[in-house]
A and B are shown apart, each in its own frame.
Chain A
Amino acid sequence: MSKEERHIFSVMVENRFGVLARVAGLFSGRGFNIDSLNVAETHDKSVSQITLVTHGDAQIIDQIYQHLNRLIDVIEVTDLTTGTHVERELLLLKISTEDPRKRAEILQVAEVYRARVIDTKPSSLVLEITGDEGKLEAAIEIFNTYGILELARTGKIAMMRGGTN
């Protein structure tokens, strides 16, 4: 068996109800994995973009590509991992500031990660951090030492570098 690789697919789909279910159903029905999934409208209101992170060996990745393409509502599938691309994820962290002495320290660490404070309360604050997976994992690890009360992350969005085609 060839080795498993992580792939990021950008899937352009018709912006209609039920399309996400078709995509997700394809993965569950054929036993493929979804590591992360992000869906949003594009600048063309009739098109939505699904950014989907999955893993598998070359044969499975090819099958995922082919089966995504086979769905009628799928307009275009791009495997971003085949070229150089940029990827970002957005992370929101609510961190406990029960111990006021730690507050300044937390803000210092936040600066290292270029995190923005988007809400503060006496006992907590909310940070917004963007970056790739490695950066976010590192941020979570360090902030966890201060007590993460809540965490939300978007899943990856990505695009190819340079002009298309």
Chain B
Amino acid sequence: MSVITSQRVLFLVFCRSKRLISIVNEERNWSGTTVRSVSVIYVNRNVLLKPHPSRLQSWNEKVFYFQQPTAQKNVSTTVYEEIDMELSGAHILVDGLKREGVEYIFGVNGGAAMPIFDALYDETEVKLIPMRHEQGASHAADGYARATGKVGVALATSGPGATNLVTGIATAYMDSIPMVAITGQVMTEFIGSDAFQECDVIGVTRPICKHSYLVKSCDEVADVVAEAFHLARTGKQGPVIIDIAKDAQRAETIFQHPDTVDIRSYKPQVNGDPAQIAKAAALIKEAKCPMLYAGGGVVLANASEELRKLTLNTQIPITVTLMGLGAFPETHPLAMEMPGMHGSCCANYAFTDADLVVAIGARFDDRVTGDLGKFAPKAKKIHIDIDPSCIGKNVPVDVPIVGDAKNVLTELNKLVDTADIDPWRNQIQEWKQKYPFEYEQKGNKVMPQYVIEKIYEHYSDAIVVADVGQHQMWAAQYFKFTDPRTWLNSGGLGTMGFSLPAAIGAQLGCPDKTVVNINGDGSYIMTIQELVPAITMKLPLKIFIINNMYLGMVRQWQELFHDKRYSAVDYHDNPDFALLAQAFGATGLRVEHPEDVEPALLKAKGINDGPVVIDFIVDEEENVFPMVPAGAGLGDVIRGLS
């Protein structure tokens, strides 16, 4: 087929302007080919990756006309995409984010990250959400990840921008949340010179991230982005930092995104050892007083279905930790509710008497176990975890199983049957009936627990984002979660200020869900500035503040263990949050009487063009019970003060 027919062919060639000369020079190699006319315009780089001909026409077109003898078809237009495409590091980064399926980036702009923000300026696939503080950006990315299971992305500049991200990165790390945090870094030639807004972010974040990359050349960007997302979302998930020097953002290079990521030193074990799983099944069969103890790992592994199956098949009572709430429905008769410091007496007594504890994606945290010497003293322990370093860290384990909770439970479910443990189940039911979560109504005060009960009544389908403190515990106790990823909170690091920005991330990730932010008066004011982007984006967040005018959890400890010496916890000088919300431009309501709680909640339901803030002025000195004092055994739980 070497019939040479002379044809006029139109080529659209997208390339960097400095490549033009070489393309035209190429002509010499195509014997008999003549370039008839060349017209060049500058098009926005954004268009380069995904050319829309319709858009191009409006720019007079950037076209090459070639007479090319080898053209087979009567082609009039050929789009050469990415021929020797040179892009800047910033654009390669953004392009990489798109390939990873990123929808939102939460960021605050600043000097050393400007090229990245510039690349995002007219980007439509990846939406940039400008936050008001970098901590808000990292929490929003975190909330998005918790609600959706996808990787959250935060972006900040060097130095203070990066250090402000740190709390959010540490929060995500403690709870194994998949996140990629991108920070600008000063120019490579200035690194190490104490330059303006320079900070060794890799050094600062080393103990609080899964991995980190310092990118000093634009040639590394494509690979680093692919690796970072791979690490964030596989194995034990967690935050990964990409610190990218400003000159690497600016410099241009020819690049290729890797199709697959293969890190020779990183091979997480996702399938449990069959022999170990068989051993676990045998222990489950023998046990007379077994219990399941499931944690956040079940939610992260999307293994709720498998956990339900295991519980229902075996009919073994189950306790789900603060981080796992929703992995198993709290409304089910087998659910013993949350264990630990402020957990149910039932779950804590069960640990104390059990002869077998099956831990699934839970890490025997000190807030769960209390005094380790008194924790589940009669029980053999099976521990299923993706992270081998978690197994045996706090509690000796009889049957360790390293693997992804979903895979391991699927295999385990094939080997187990209904357990013959009626006396134990009856004992659990007795505890459950005898010691429910309860509180006393004090006079005509708004009791915080009552507010939570009412929120549950009216928003049972919502995603609840709690902050840290007493309100968090009350929400965990009185809101009955039935589905995974509907309860978001900073369980590991206990970061106050987490919830409002996290709620923003959750709402963007789940636009069809109602997002309820249960906040405290102390935690709300820590990141209150993030009300601004919520209002700008008209997010219909329901922000409910359980306001006791104190740093309540600390005050409770001071009351119980420090002779009521209320050092630095009195927040009576806080502003009126309802008026403040109005000043921001949101709807603000204040509730001071029990009879106003429900009408306010109903009113909030009807407002969907922006956030609603309800300031519930609750009883100031109500305490969270039950309580296992720090250092005590779970059997020594204080059920209440009276």
Contact = CB atoms under 8 A, between A and B. Distances in A.
Interface of A: 13-14, 18, 21-22, 25, 29, 59, 62-63, 66-67, 69-70, 72-76
Interface string B192-211: 00000000001100110011
B224 to A, nearest CB: 12
B388 A25 contact: no
Contacts of A67: 389
A44 B340 CA distance: 50
Contacts of B266: 72
A52 B207 CA distance: 20
B265 A70 contact: no
19 contacts: A14-B265, A18-B214, A21-B206, A25-B207, A29-B207, A59-B392, A62-B392, A63-B389, A63-B392, A69-B389, A70-B236, A70-B387, A70-B388, A72-B210, A72-B231, A72-B265, A73-B211, A75-B264, A76-B265
A63 B265 CA distance: 18
A14 B207 CA distance: 18
Contact of A66 (B206, B231, B389): B389
A138 B165 CA distance: 53
Interface string B359-400: 000000000000000000000000000011101110010000
By size class, the interface of chain B is 20 to 34
A70 B235 CA distance: 10
Interface string B451-494: 00000000000000000000000000000000000000000000
Contacts of B207: 25, 29
A21 B211 CA distance: 12
A18 B265 contact: no
Contact of B265 (A25, A59, A66, A75): A75
Contact of A74 (B265, B388, B393): B265
Nearest to B231: A72
Nearest to B210: A72
Contacts of A59: 392, 396
A158 to B, nearest CB: 21
Contacts of A66: 388-389, 391
Interface of B: 202-203, 206-207, 210-211, 214, 231, 236, 263-266, 387-389, 391-393, 396
A69 B390 CA distance: 12
Contacts of A74: 265
Given A66-B389, A70-B389, A72-B231, A22 B263 contact: no
Contacts of A14: 265
Contacts of A13: 265
A57 to B, nearest CB: 12
A130 B264 CA distance: 35
A22 B209 CA distance: 11
A98 to B, nearest CB: 44
A59 B387 CA distance: 16
Given A18-B214, A72-B210, A63 B203 contact: no
A67 B396 CA distance: 17
B206 A25 contact: yes
Given A18-B214, A21-B203, A22-B206, A73 B265 contact: yes
A77 to B, nearest CB: 10
A17 to B, nearest CB: 8
Of residues A62, A74, A76, which shows the largest number of chain B Cβ atoms within 10 Å of its Cβ? Answer: A62
B245 to A, nearest CB: 14
